Amino acid sequence: MPRHPSSANPATRRTALWVAVALCLNSVFAPAAGATHARSQHAASVSPGAGDLAALGWVWPASNFRLARVYVAPAHEYGPGHRGIDLALLGSSALVSPADGIVAFAGRVAGRGVLTIDHGGGLVTTLEPVDTALVPGAPVRGGEEVATLSLGGHSAPGELHFGVRLDGRYINPMLLLDGVPRAILLPCCD
């Protein structure tokens, strides 16, 4: 069976290892304060290669969360896997666009709200389940609030599914987010 191209990438394996370590430590992920909006402004005009995705300067779609489920590449296009990451939001339910783009779809699919943003260069993100007032064709800026978390879909209540496609194929969103964010350890026992 053919393997997903990113599954053999050493950088992807390192990222997966860091994710596993972070999950074992029951970490809460908090993106670095003051993520630069300027870095994400050029994302729509850059045609990325596999090695320079993190250089696009994408931001996390939520401000305070715990990684609930990691990306699992399918063995083939129709195989089982998890084509994105799930984030358990902690506190605010506000969601932001990870980079500049144009709303490609905003509506309900199988009973849940879905927001799809085309970032150019073959990159498209999907956030679900969401509530949004945006309409297809609306421009969005990286870091701009675009939706709030809703209910429905395969994610547990309070979790956001964040998927990314590059040229029509799903990739690990963490490749665009410069790896694993800083972990904050929580107290373990009372």
Q: Does residue 14 lie within any of the structural domains?
A: yes
Q: Which regions of the chain does DSSP assign to beta strands (E)? A: 28-29, 65-69, 85-89, 94-96, 101-109, 112-120, 123-128, 130-131, 139-140, 145-149, 159-166, 169-171, 183-184
Beta bridge partners of 93: none
* Residue 190 located in a structural domain: no
The confidence score (pLDDT) of residue 49 equals 53
- 3-state SS, residue 41: helix
124: in domain: yes
> Would 81 be classed as within a structural domain?
yes
Domain of 123 in residue numbering reads as 5-184
Q: Which residue has the higher pLDDT, 189 or 22?
A: 189
Q: What average pLDDT does the segment 131-152 reach?
A: 96
Q: What is the CATH number of the domain that holds 78?
A: 2.70.70.10
Chain centre distance of CA 81? 16
Q: Report in angstroms the alpha-carbon separations of 133 from 20, 48, 96, 136, 164.
A: 36, 30, 13, 10, 21
Number of domains in the chain: 1
**Is residue 167 domain-resident?**
yes
27-78: pLDDT as tens digits? 333 333 333 332 333 333 334 455 578 788 899 999 899 988 888 888 877 8
Question: Would residue 189 count as lying in a domain?
Answer: no
Instruction: Please say if the pLDDT value at position 6 is more than 50.
Output: no
Mean pLDDT of 123-130: 96
Assess if residue 31 is contained within a domain.
yes
pLDDT score at 179: 59
The single-letter code of the amino acid at 104 is A
In a domain, 115, yes or no: yes
